[in-house]
Structure 1
Amino acid sequence: MIETLVALLAATVIMVPIARRLGVGSIVGYLVAGLAIGPDGLRLVTGVSQIQNISELGVIMLLFLIGLEIRPHRLWILRKTILGLGFGQMVPSAALLAVLAHWVGLSWTAAALVGLGLALSSTAIVLPMLGERSLLSAASGRDAFAVLLFQDMAFIPLVALVPLFASGHLPNHLPTHVPWFAVGRALVAVVAILAGGIYLVERIFRLVGGTRTPEVFTAMTLLIVVGTAALAHWAGLSASLGAFMAGALLSDSEFRHAIQADVEPFEGLLLGFFFISVGMSVDFSLLLAQPLTILAAVAATLAVKIVVGFVVSFIKRRSAATALRFAVALPEGSEFSFVLFGAAVTAGALSKTQAGLATLTVALSMLVVPLLFAGIERFAIPRMNKRQVASAAIAPDRPTPVLICGFGRVGQIVGRLLSVRHIAFTALDQNAEHVAFVRRFGARAYFGDPTRITVLRAAGAEAAKVLVIALDDAEAALKLAEVARRHLPHLTILARARNRRHAQLLMDLGVTLIVRETLMSSLKLGEMALTALDVAPDEAARTITAFAARDEALLTETLGFAGDEPRVIASLQQSVTELQELFEADRAG
């Protein structure tokens, strides 16, 4: 067992960083690691079933964490998007894939199971893939998250319904004999989990937390996860269902974040072992025996899900680029597909050969999709954005007094404030998808690089009075300030600075009206902290005013030696001392 653990950990340490560096995601690294050390590879590990039994705890913990994230109020806010996109993407995909599976020879019940399993998408692949490209907050990322959330919730009843497929046909009438003992046992388990989650768990966590023993708190967390899974399994339900229910019941608990921090390391490693075991269980003999069948299954799965996803997103009036990103992010199979097919084999609903073909299709789709997504991001999306930009070309019908460069979270608030006073403005941003979105709400936003003088002039900068620099990129903001000071000296420049050093570099370029993006919120938080500590409101306000004035003065005083760290530190320490002496003198007076 020690040798097996060494092989698993070594494969993880070697393959996962390589996969992440190649940009294909850690899941691909785990799968390749399993292929490499498994029975059809180097044969460092041959007891695949033993590893699967342990690694299934990773799936249980993943379901617990998903339940922990699914808070009732969050679901209510996203209900229309989740249900609309979730049903729209999953149900047609499952139906079409089931028809294709039946067409190649599977019974309708087996085909339905295969279609449902292939229709699921991998949360563990999609979210990191979108996150590393900063797309989670984009329309495509939000839509993909809604679909994944729907699928995560749909997986629980899917697993519970697997035994219905085992007889070879779906029931079309009520059974004549109801297994009351099994039903009663399941009801008892559900009631026990609900009652324990509502009335007992938080009290126990408070008691355990009061002992200030971190390892006991961690042990209690693991006991909750594994205990609820074991209780559900005893009752004949899915172990994942028990863990999911426990997580959902604790989603609004005061201990939620501490519980999540304790479970995540175990979940990540055990889920990694689960994917390694999947890689080990890939039947190379099956791939070599039926290569055309496997490749056709992978191609059909990807094609069906991409087409369905694109159509659904387009119906939601997303842009073509957004629809393509959404569609290409979701065609791979899911980690839950492996669990579903495994449960189907155990229940007798699928043969081992059928499940092996389906599992191999899912595993290969997981390998292909990250590469496919990287390809469309590199080649297709830029071309689509160029066509999309044509509708957002810079051709303002009349000059405006304000030009906002960067129409993200800061620039939009400035624009909204101007709109309240009925002051017209023109906004420039380099995110074509973002520009297309805000234009739907009537914003005068255009695509273009604001650091280019030709773009600024085309946007009406020569007729404007005020230039607002609200770019996220500090280097681009400095370049824009330099271009504007040189070619458009009549403009009053208002700039957003990321930090003190950025502000000083802007000052070096002659920009004087600067707002450090964290300063005002930090000062307000500081004032609230003082009043919460019973400092008189007028004294707290005066403290904040004095601090802000001294900080602004210090920003100018240190401008000449901003790169000299020891002198800057000494100056800051002297400033704090002066402020303390000032308040001490006021108190004595």
Structure 2
Amino acid sequence: MESFLYQASIYLAAAVIAVPIAARLGLGSVLGYLLAGIVIGPLLGVVGSETEDLQHFAEFGVVLMLFIIGLELEPRTLWDMRHRLIGLGGLQVVLTTAAAMGVALALGQDWQPALAIGMIFALSSTAIVLQSLSEKGLMQTGGGRSAFSVLLTQDIAVIPMLIVLPLLASGSVVRLAEDGSIARASDADHAAHASLSLVEGLPGWGVALVTLAAVASIIVGGIYLIRPLFAFIHTARLREMYTALALMIVVGIAFLMSLVGLSPALGTFLAGVVLANSEFRHELESDIEPFKGLLLGLFFITVGAGIDFGTLFREPLLILGLTLTLILGKGAILYVLGRLFGLRGRNQWLFTLGLAQAGEFGFVLVSFSLQQNVLPDILGARILLVIALSMLITPLLFILYDYISRRLQAEGGEQPDDDEIDEQGPVIIAGIGRFGQIVNRLVQSTGFKTVVLDHDMQTIQLMRRFGFKGFFGDPTRPDILHAAGLEKASVLVVALDDPEATTKLVTYARTARPDLHIVARARDRTHVYRLYQAGANDIVRETFDSSLRAGRYVLENVGLSEYEASEAEKTFYAHDRYSVRELAKVWDPDVASAENKAYVERARELEKELEAELLQIIEKRSSNAA
């Protein structure tokens, strides 16, 4: 018990110290976790052999992460991604496997271990990449969504890889004996440990049927069993029971997937997608999120602590050369594929640099390859070190992306590509600056879904860091509006800073949807007239309400009571709305207001009417006082 508490204290203290420092320096939390692991492992040696066992436990953080990602993806959205999953992701896995296999063959490896190396290096780090994309608010960009598609394809590809690896096993492989000499080991010496399995010993068709039954049970259970379970737990009225149920769902599905030989992460992802439309979606997310973050952090620490610096120092040029070759070669393939699939500029660099490393599933494949006698121990140790180093370098690649992104914008004024809008709702908000964000918060807090569009990437990224989803794109473009669901929306809120863009957007929206209710932000009274003619239903001057409230405070402090000041404010507000409609009828955009006689005369008449209405309030006050 004392040993466990000691180790737990070491890991937690390392995370608490290193991660805030790394975040403060702009390095990101992932690099902080990795550096913490290096310090307590290879450098100080305060943790030891338990790191490998702990890593298997910490890998469950990846399972939880994919479950939460699945909760945020509706099945329709996943179907819409099929071209990237099959095309972009499939090509990446195949081409990277072939390229890495070719390099291994050139270095003198047989084709069996060369193919295993190719499959291992074709995978990228789901944990590091998704964590970094989320922290930087890049998940909904074109490059972020493409990276996610490839990562999902890679996770699925692990299944056939695990099936192929035993077929590559040779009768004997080279092993490193305890005394340092080279020894031969037979298959019998390294037989895989027996484990629980529902498919062991079954023919191929039996394995397929059991696997399909397991997947079907997840889908059916997610649709028909989760709601009754939550209703049952609700009767206990204990908050911890919700957390227990959420963990039971994830752990149970992961265990079922293990029994049929599938990836637990893939199974929980599928369950998350099934539950994406459930009313318990947010409850599940809030219950699991703390466990996911803690276990992912622990996983990154174990990766850093497990780096074998002894092998690195014995063969530094070889290990570093292989690591750089992996990153550069994989990056070149990703760059070409990104270009072929329409990625440009910052999105292309994000896609390229974000996925150029090896991944945590590579550890699993290397371990499995060693058990199946596909790889010799010496080669396996080198590959493990290359995987760990490439993962350690990944946060630095994201820093390089930030630098390239700033240079592209500074030198060429380049803007990122528009996001792929995968959501629709009853309310579209165009513009999320100081005006639109208040509207968005009010509408969302009331329980209505909004689709937020803005052409400022920094604003969108800042919004995402606070938990509000938005999409980068020019709202005045018809294709962006239609992708956001213009045909089905009930209300369009135009909250752009640019008056000309606002008028243009209102004009198009009114033409495309005569029945749409349009709420528009106006710069001044003249802009109100333009929006009125363009077809806006409700027009709000950006400083009118705040100025009106300030005027009410003035009246309260020069002798009027709060009630009288409030009545004057209401009267002024109602009369101003009436005046705007009246003056819009005689306003001519081609003639200055001061030169428009009809406009001037009507403005004077309306001003006298306002004075008369306000005078009645003052006289009523005087008569009551008397």
TM over 0.5, shorter chain: yes
**Per the alignment, do residues 201 and 285 of structure 1 end up closer, same or farther by CA in structure 2, a change over 3 Å counting?**
same
Which one of 29, 50, 53 corresponds to residue 50 of structure 1? 53
Find out whether 1:557 has 2:548 as its counterpart.
Answer: yes
1:180, 1:145 → 2: CA distance?
32
Which one of 7, 10, 18 corresponds to residue 10 of structure 2? 7
1:572, 1:268 → 2: CA distance?
53
Q: Deviations over 1:360-418 (max 9, x none)?
A: 2222222323323423542576258735769xxxxxxxxxxxxxxxxx9549xxxxxxx
Find out whether 1:23 has 2:26 as its counterpart.
Answer: yes
Which one of 249, 253, 259 corresponds to residue 278 of structure 2? 253
**Per the alignment, do residues 43 and 557 of structure 1 end up closer, same or farther by CA in structure 2, a change over 3 Å counting?**
same
**Per the alignment, do residues 275 and 574 of structure 1 end up closer, same or farther by CA in structure 2, a change over 3 Å counting?**
farther
**Which residue number in structure 2 is paired with residue 153 of structure 1?**
156
Q: Deviations over 1:194-223 (max 9, x none)?
A: 554444333222221343322112111211
Secondary structure of the 2:357 match is coil
1:337-356 equivalences in 2 (<5 Å): 337-356=362-381
Q: Deviations over 1:276-318 (max 9, x none)?
A: 2222221111101111111111111111122112212222344
Residue identity (%) = 35
**Residue 273 of structure 1, CA deviation:** 1.3
**Which residue number in structure 2 is paired with residue 324 of structure 1?**
349
Structure 2, unpaired ranges of 5+: 173-200, 416-428, 433-453, 461-472, 480-493, 506-520, 529-536, 574-626
Find out whether 1:85 has 2:88 as its counterpart.
Answer: yes
Aligned pair count?
A: 452
**Per the alignment, do residues 239 and 551 of structure 1 end up closer, same or farther by CA in structure 2, a change over 3 Å counting?**
closer
**Residue 96 of structure 1, CA deviation:** 0.5
> Are the aligned partners of 2:430 and 2:495 in contact in 1 as well (CA < 8 Å)?
no
RMSD: 4.8
**Which residue number in structure 1 is paired with residue 330 of structure 2?**
305
Give the structure-2-normalised TM-score.
Answer: 0.60
1:164, 1:492 → 2: CA distance?
62
Find out whether 1:223 has 2:248 as its counterpart.
Answer: yes
> Are the aligned partners of 1:55 and 1:273 in contact in 2 as well (CA < 8 Å)?
yes
More divergent stretch after superposition (328-337 vs 148-157):
148-157
> Are the aligned partners of 2:71 and 2:273 in contact in 1 as well (CA < 8 Å)?
yes
Secondary structure of the 1:254 match is coil
2:284, 2:457 → 1: CA distance?
38
1:208-219 equivalences in 2 (<5 Å): 208-219=233-244
**Per the alignment, do residues 252 and 116 of structure 1 end up closer, same or farther by CA in structure 2, a change over 3 Å counting?**
farther
Q: Deviations over 1:505-536 (max 9, x none)?
A: x99xx955689xxxxxxxx9xxxxxxxxxxxx
> Are the aligned partners of 1:66 and 1:247 in contact in 2 as well (CA < 8 Å)?
yes
One-letter code of the match for 1:12? A
Structure 1, unpaired ranges of 5+: 170-175, 391-407, 412-427, 444-467, 472-476, 482-490, 497-505, 516-523, 525-544, 583-589
Give the structure-1-normalised TM-score.
Answer: 0.64
More divergent stretch after superposition (217-226 vs 133-142):
133-142
**Which residue number in structure 1 is paired with residue 304 of structure 2?**
279
Find out whether 1:470 has 2:461 as its counterpart.
Answer: no
**Which residue number in structure 1 is paired with residue 437 of structure 2?**
none
More divergent stretch after superposition (59-68 vs 379-388):
379-388
**Residue 10 of structure 1, CA deviation:** 0.7
1:70, 1:322 → 2: CA distance?
21
Which one of 383, 394, 407 corresponds to residue 369 of structure 1? 394
Which one of 82, 95, 98 corresponds to residue 95 of structure 1? 98
**Which residue number in structure 2 is paired with residue 394 of structure 1?**
none
More divergent stretch after superposition (358-367 vs 176-185):
176-185
**Per the alignment, do residues 555 and 388 of structure 1 end up closer, same or farther by CA in structure 2, a change over 3 Å counting?**
closer
One-letter code of the match for 2:548? E
**Which residue number in structure 2 is paired with residue 396 of structure 1?**
none
1:454-493 equivalences in 2 (<5 Å): 470-471=496-497
**Residue 48 of structure 1, CA deviation:** 1.8
Secondary structure of the 1:333 match is coil
1:573, 1:122 → 2: CA distance?
66
More divergent stretch after superposition (551-560 vs 83-92):
551-560
Which one of 108, 111, 118 corresponds to residue 105 of structure 1? 108
**Per the alignment, do residues 320 and 164 of structure 1 end up closer, same or farther by CA in structure 2, a change over 3 Å counting?**
same
1:166, 1:250 → 2: CA distance?
40
Q: Deviations over 1:130-167 (max 9, x none)?
A: 45555444433333333233334334444455444445
Mark the structure with the bigger radius of gyration.
2
